[in-house]
Amino acid sequence: MVRQNVVEQIFGLSGINVCVLDDTGRPLYSAPPAEAFPQEFYQKCMEDYAGYIRTKEHPLMIILEHGLCVGIAKLRNGQILFFGPVRNVENNEDSLAALRIDGYPFYGNEDFRTVLLKAPAMYQHKFAQSLSIAIQLLVDKVINGEDIVLLSASDSHWDPDVYSKLTEEIFSTREQFDFHTSTQYEMMACTAIENGDLDTLDKFYRTPMQGRVGQLSNDSLQQDKFVFVAMITLASRAAIKGGLDEETARTMLDLYCQHVDTLSNPTDIMALAYKMGVDYCTKVAENIGKAHYSPTIKKCCTFISHNLHREIGLMELAEHCALSPHTVSKKFREETGFTIPDYINRKKIEEAMYLLKHSDMSISDIAGYLQYSTQSYFTKIFKSLTGRTPKQYREYAPEEQL
């Protein structure tokens, strides 16, 4: 049987508030006194615990707003352990005054805010260990860390009908023979992008859709945007697999998602989806040779791509790849056909071409950004690789890549 002295012992050892409740949420034993917490606070957390219907026998750690965390565990005879809260961020008076936990505002409760401000700060894994020890001291039951379920308060209420709805939907789909698009159909586009194969991608766009797109939203415009996000997620992963630099692929994803969020016409969203697929496929085609580089040389190329705005020394690159300068230089030349300095210059000039075409940066600023010592030297390298001066290129700005 739980005793008050054990509760006080746990509080003394951990510094964490301990309260044992009956099955109605009424405090039985606590340290410090339970009056410091509004009754509604216990009740709301208990609702979260009860709402987690699939694993309610497991101890639960609930992450509340403003970095607060509480632990709840079923003991014996219907009793419930309420442990915490603790905080994993620094709370101040302003943040706690505005605190809302699962819809309950703690109106000006000075005692409650005082308790929260005094709550110990600790990492979640440390709190889980303390919760395990508390349960063991109270009911002599050993709890492993993996037995504790971590839950966000915003996700705490499960829909008890979700599984019956799933059964109904699958049954209806089979009865009507109205299945989702097949993985094989989706992979046709992904494979085309991965291989930089624009012809196959065009064939995919012209092929009638097999199956149906799932209903992701009841709002038709939001549905189209959700489908777009699903499409670009697959496309970006395929492009990365095809050799496109990860940072480039993910930045493209960010920008396209930001763009689609501004659209309000389904036709515009469809056009953007087409452009997005072609864009990824084209980028992979331009970089198709990289797909055959060894992991070490891919690592070199990625490092260079991420550091075009500063000086890149051979020693630094060799250290990054865990090779000697001689070995990395030799391997790089064998696989890419370029010396490391030549490759860096080509990548910097490619970046300069993009900036000249898509930005208002001055030529001198671009030269400085790319770490060329003088504008005249930058112009010399630029012309040797493109056949034009930076000024001539900006005026002409053709669609080309080195």
Which CATH number does the domain housing residue 368 bear? Answer: 1.10.10.60
- Does the pTM surpass 0.75? The reply is no
Residue 10 lies in a domain: yes
Same domain, 298 and 274: no
Residue 174 lies in a domain: no
Q: In the structure encoding, which two tokens stand for residue 345, read together? A: 């210059």
What confidence score (pLDDT) does residue 401 get?
Answer: 52
Same domain, 265 and 385: no
Same domain, 132 and 71: yes
What confidence score (pLDDT) does residue 145 get?
Answer: 61
Same domain, 390 and 312: yes
CB atoms within 10 A of CB 265: 10
Residue 176 lies in a domain: no
**Sites in the chain below the pLDDT cut of 50:** 53-55, 101-108, 155-160, 162-163
Dist. CA 138–CA 244, nearest whole Å:
56
Q: Domain range for residue 126?
A: 4-155
How far, in Å, are 200, 253, 287, 332 from residue 190 at the CA level? 10, 15, 16, 29
Same domain, 251 and 297: no
CB atoms within 10 A of CB 145: 11
Residue 343 lies in a domain: yes
Same domain, 22 and 146: yes
Same domain, 15 and 142: yes
Q: CA gyration radius for the chain?
A: 30
Residue 402 lies in a domain: no
Residue 311's closest CA among 351, 345, 356, 335? Answer: 345
Dist. CA 172–CA 246, nearest whole Å:
40
How far, in Å, are 10, 19, 85, 86, 168 from residue 5 at the CA level? 9, 12, 20, 22, 52
**Dihedral sign, Cα of residue 214, residue 215, residue 220, residue 225:** negative
pLDDT digits (tens, 9 = 90+) for 107-125: 445 666 666 667 777 777 7
Burial 81-120 (b: 16+ CB within 10 A, else e): bbbbbbbeeebeeebbeebebbeeebeebeebbebbeebe
Same domain, 269 and 309: no
What confidence score (pLDDT) does residue 152 get?
Answer: 63
What confidence score (pLDDT) does residue 305 get?
Answer: 84
Q: Tell me, what DSSP letter sits at residue 180?
A: B
Taking the mean position of all CA atoms in its chain, how far away is CA 332?
A: 33
What confidence score (pLDDT) does residue 39 get?
Answer: 67
Q: In the structure encoding, which two tokens stand for residue 326, read together? A: 């001689």
Same domain, 222 and 356: no
Same domain, 332 and 190: no
Q: How many domains does the chain have?
A: 3
Which CATH number does the domain housing residue 124 bear? Answer: 3.30.450.30
Same domain, 275 and 334: no
Same domain, 359 and 237: no
Q: Tell me, what DSSP letter sits at residue 289?
A: G
